Amino acid sequence: MLELLKQEFVQRALIAGVGLAIPLGVLGCFMLWRRMSFFSDAMGHAAILGVIGGLILHIHPQLAVGGIALLAALILSRHRHSSRLPLDTWLGAVSYGGLALGLCLMALNPSVRVSPEAILFGEILSVTWTDVVWVLAVAIFTPLLFWKIWRVVILITMDEDWAATNNIPVYSIQMIFLTTIALVTAVGLKITGALLLPALMVFPAATSSYFARSPEKMVIISSLIAMVAFVIGALTSFWFDLPTGPAIVVISLVFMVIGSIGKKF
């Protein structure tokens, strides 16, 4: 194992995973508080369209994924309260529509050489130092941003209608939140994949809810749990030759189950 940890590609993977855990822990808590867990799922699936579209149009994949994820965020935000159709319908349209359209475009363009498994489940061992820099930049930006707007976000989370009647910019804050999810999706897709990224937002946050006694502590514990899950999951996958993304999700799920059981005693 020590010899494996000396490999540069393993070091890049671990740094990227630990860095990504910070914004995932922060965003996951707000998703649980606002019951928006399926938003990340929809944006992750839609991001597949960004990967394929970026390769076809020769656009940097992270820019294309970020653009599509942001478009998905705008659609979901626009129709959250002002549509005849329920929000679940729009979540399905964005999620499965983006996934299906991306896979169809890939089939129609044989010149686009990309592994569907890498898109869906991630390819953490292929991250470059450039990817690591992007992840660390987002890891620093996200907590600083939410620290700046913390009070307003908590008020909106507690009672969105009350916040709106008291001239708090609910829509602007919501767009900041969804844009941040889009940004994290753009930098995290290569690491965890479109199908697994939402789980790594939800599971650590759910685990921290069993132990935290304040919103601030819940965010910190959630990020720490996500970091530990990334490290243990990655090392487990290296040792037992398992797919890394799924191994990390399994470890996160185990933590959540242990937290649930431990809370009962």
Instruction: Tell me how many domains the chain contains.
Output: 1
CB atoms closer than 10 angstroms to residue 156? 23
For 24-37, the pLDDT digits (tens) are 999 999 888 877 77
Distance of CA 25 to the CA centre of its chain: 9
Q: What is the pLDDT of residues 157-179, one digit of tens each?
A: 777 777 778 778 877 888 888 88
**Predicted structure pTM score:** 0.84
Specify the DSSP class assigned to residue 95. Answer: H
In a domain, 264, yes or no: no
Q: Got the DSSP string for 124-151?
A: GGG--HHHHHHHHHHHHHHHHHHHHTHH
| Nearest Cα residue to 46 out of 65, 32, 59, 31 | 65
Q: In the numeric block, which tokens belong to residue 202?
A: 């939800």
Residue 265 lies in a domain: no
pLDDT surpasses 80 at 241: yes
Write down the pLDDT at residue 230.
93
CATH number at residue 147: 1.10.3470.10
Expressed as residue numbers, the domain containing 211 is 2-259
Angle at CA of residue 72, ends 189 and 251, nearest 5°: 35
